[in-house]
Structure 1
């Protein structure tokens, strides 16, 4: 650093010692003075060795230059610093290796043609006077040149440096060994985990194959059960009809007169025959519903007449302390449904309430609701009966399931009433829900569209209505069963079994419609719907949700702009066409609010 540089930086520089360098012995004095100055200014051992060693090397390289001298200086700026400045005349310059080492090992190294400044930062901020006093004391204590002592000290310092380097080398060797051992352990663990993962994958594949086989067997068993029900119901209907007909002949006024006892017994036979026929009809309808062969016949219905008939039919089934209260009201506006199915639904629900209500009231109310999809009828049956435990509410919709308890001892039934009523309600395009609490009665709500669109055969043309459809579903069995249905609707069908690829496939193919399952690995169907809604270019593509979930399990706030929600059960091309607005009478696209009102068929 030149005086000009020192002034520019604002540092206060004081020369502590200086000497000319003309011969080899002067280098010895540079080292001794350097050691003394650094010690007086409390420079650490490591910094002292670096500065004195490099200063000695610089003096040795420059020795012989004209006017060569060495100055020991101290600066009081920020930071405090001790330095050795060499000055000389001529073109001679320190070597590149020396400058490189000085830049790397020292805090200061400035080479300015005829001036070389080497320095180290100080950690002890001494005042200028104190620093000068200490340096003077150290220099005064130096005796005559004792080269052997200096060499011993240098050798001791070098030996200490070698020992430090050796210790660092040994530590590095130890760390390298530990790293090698760790790497070996990691590789062994990786091999072990890879083997376990491969074995697990083989087990998963075998399990999946076993599940496929069991699913196939279950489907065959279900189909066999359905056929059995249908065959048994058909076989039972003939003799039951014969029993009822014969009983009616015996009770006819033109027949031979019967005694009072005989008349009562034949009446009991006729009543039991009618009850048995109703059970047979329910079994047959349940079998038809499961096989998809039970189609509603939609006609205008006088709801008041239906309720009046139920009131007359069920009045005798009420216990002595039970009041049957059925609303005497007409539906405001046209009401279109299957009258037989509606009657059976309400009769099963009301009969179930009457069976398990010993005292109080069984009430049926009717309300009209205007929804986005049109007018709906909400029929609610409440009772003051024994109620159902909360953990068994959903189980009562399983076929043949009956809630266990003391109340069952005197009540007959097959366990088909509520499952049968729910199936019929869904076939009519509505939904049936139940809430109950043990000891506090039960409430059953039947919601039906007042003006549904009759699906009927022949509503679809022979040629596909769409160019392309994308279906996002991870169930290969369902996709396989749905292919014939989609072939009737679209020329091409793109199946996406990994939901992560759904959005990219939809944006690439630009289909005429998208079908999305909800229950899939992440991202699930709700997330796929959100992804589709976030792309403006897909705004006009209709989306329909296909699911096996119940209505109560749907998160309606996350359905996005889905047009409709359809059950996977008994899914037909006509129902899909209606949901997509492809046939006459189908509803148009629904916004997010409309979607919330679309029930699960």
Structure 2
């Protein structure tokens, strides 16, 4: 649709027409006012240059949406830069505003996208709009001024309502901020109080840790000193009892010989306990430094077989030390032998019949020793407790000798010193398997 601009009164006509077109194509009332105001301002500036102009209304696709496009064309060229400067404020009312020279004159392009709620503009609908606009009778400038005043009043009312709403929102926000600040201060105070409590707790924990470390060190020193002091007199008692029972000494009655044997047996048990305490104290105090060397496992197994064979006196128990599947490994031979000796001795004490067996095999980059027996077994809930000092499984009785409850804790500490771990798998009535896993090098 095209309209000619010749005199200033035509500005009112195109303003009215722009508002009618915007309403027909589905723009909201505020956008109708913006479109009409923008077109009237462009028309006024173009007419001020002293030349006629044509105003064209077009509906076309703008990407995925539909837009109402307006063009104000004047026949003369030049002055586009000044025209852009004068119309800069108008661009804020439209989605697009451009000033260009098409070769025959200057064209001002404007566009406003239609809302998604706008009715679909079919060809039939477009014909209806054109026919209705053709019957439109322009009002006088006074009528247009009244319309502008009404629009201005409506805009002012809307601005006032928005200002009141903004004031209400600001008041609510201020109240919320006061509540947030109060909560923040409260939380800050609570957090500060909690931090003070945590700091005090850590200080107390540090103090307790130091006390525990000091108590552990004192216990280790006490065990080492007492064990060392007890070893000499106990050894002397054992030696004297042997002298009394010797055939070269004065003869003893049967009762005296029995009592001397009891003294010697009790002294031997006490010496074994003292030696275990001394070894455990050394391990806890970190006084055992491993001597790393290449260990010949075949020779070690042979020594264990020879030293422990006298303990396997029951014909019901098959004592077996398999040939090692690993020829050698890097470890401390003395400490490794102690661990295996403790495990084998413990197994022989609690196995009445069946088998006690030592084997070794490579596992990835480690070496795994297993001591298996068919003894009484250990309940699952006690698998970790047997590694506590002086703990013995309730109801278990050693078949030869007396257990002190120190052998397994000592063996686990030695395993840790050697860089490995000791674990147990056991079922009551079926036996136990102790596994020592150490790095091969």
TM range (shorter): 0.7 to 0.9
**Change in 2 beyond 3 A, CA 1:294/1:76:** closer
Q: Is the 8 Å Cα contact of residues 269 and 402 (structure 2) preserved in structure 1?
A: no
Query: Is 1:217 matched up with 2:211?
Result: yes
1:126-146 superposed Cα distances (whole Å, 9 cap, x missing partner) = 466753553343442527x45
Residue 63 of structure 1, CA deviation: 4.7
Give the structure 2 partner of residue 87 of structure 1.
Answer: 74
Q: Give secondary structure in 1 for the equivalent of 2:371.
A: strand
CA RMSD of aligned residues (A): 4.2
Residue 416 of structure 1, CA deviation: 0.7
Query: Is 1:54 matched up with 2:54?
Result: no
Which of residues 305, 308, 317 in structure 1 aligns to 2:306?
308
Which of residues 276, 286, 305 in structure 1 aligns to 2:280?
286
Query: Is 1:384 matched up with 2:374?
Result: yes
Give the structure 2 partner of residue 99 of structure 1.
Answer: 87
Q: Report how many aligned residue pairs link the two structures.
A: 424
Structure 1: how far apart are the matches of 2:330 and 2:93? 96
Unaligned runs of at least 5 residues, structure 2:
none
Unaligned runs of at least 5 residues, structure 1:
1-13, 448-550, 552-595
Structure 1: how far apart are the matches of 2:307 and 2:174? 89
Give the structure 2 partner of residue 361 of structure 1.
Answer: 354
Residue 412 of structure 1, CA deviation: 4.9
**Higher relative contact order, chain-length normalized (CA < 8 Å, sep 6+):** 2
Q: Is the 8 Å Cα contact of residues 324 and 361 (structure 2) preserved in structure 1?
A: no
Which range moved further: 77-86 or 221-230?
77-86
Residue 254 of structure 1, CA deviation: 1.6
Q: Is the 8 Å Cα contact of residues 372 and 597 (structure 1) preserved in structure 2?
A: yes
Query: Is 1:435 matched up with 2:432?
Result: no
1:157-183 superposed Cα distances (whole Å, 9 cap, x missing partner) = 222222223333334434444444444
- Counterparts of residues 104-503 of structure 1 (less than 5 Å): 104-111=92-99, 112=101, 115-121=107-113, 126=121, 131-142=126-137, 145-294=139-288, 303-312=301-310, 314-316=311-313, 322-327=316-321, 345-357=339-351, 359-367=352-360, 380-403=370-393, 405-407=394-396, 412-424=402-414, 429=418, 431=420, 433-439=422-428, 440-446=430-436
Give the structure 2 partner of residue 31 of structure 1.
Answer: 15
**Change in 2 beyond 3 A, CA 1:103/1:323:** same
Q: TM-score, normalised by structure 1?
A: 0.59
**Change in 2 beyond 3 A, CA 1:134/1:333:** closer
Q: Is the 8 Å Cα contact of residues 15 and 36 (structure 2) preserved in structure 1?
A: yes
Structure with higher helix content: 2
Which range moved further: 149-158 or 298-307?
298-307
1:516-550 superposed Cα distances (whole Å, 9 cap, x missing partner) = xxxxxxxxxxxxxxxxxxxxxxxxxxxxxxxxxxx
1:505-526 superposed Cα distances (whole Å, 9 cap, x missing partner) = xxxxxxxxxxxxxxxxxxxxxx
**Change in 2 beyond 3 A, CA 1:152/1:215:** same
Q: TM-score, normalised by structure 2?
A: 0.77
**Change in 2 beyond 3 A, CA 1:53/1:366:** closer
Structure 2: how far apart are the matches of 1:172 and 1:150? 32
Structure 1: how far apart are the matches of 2:356 and 2:398? 25
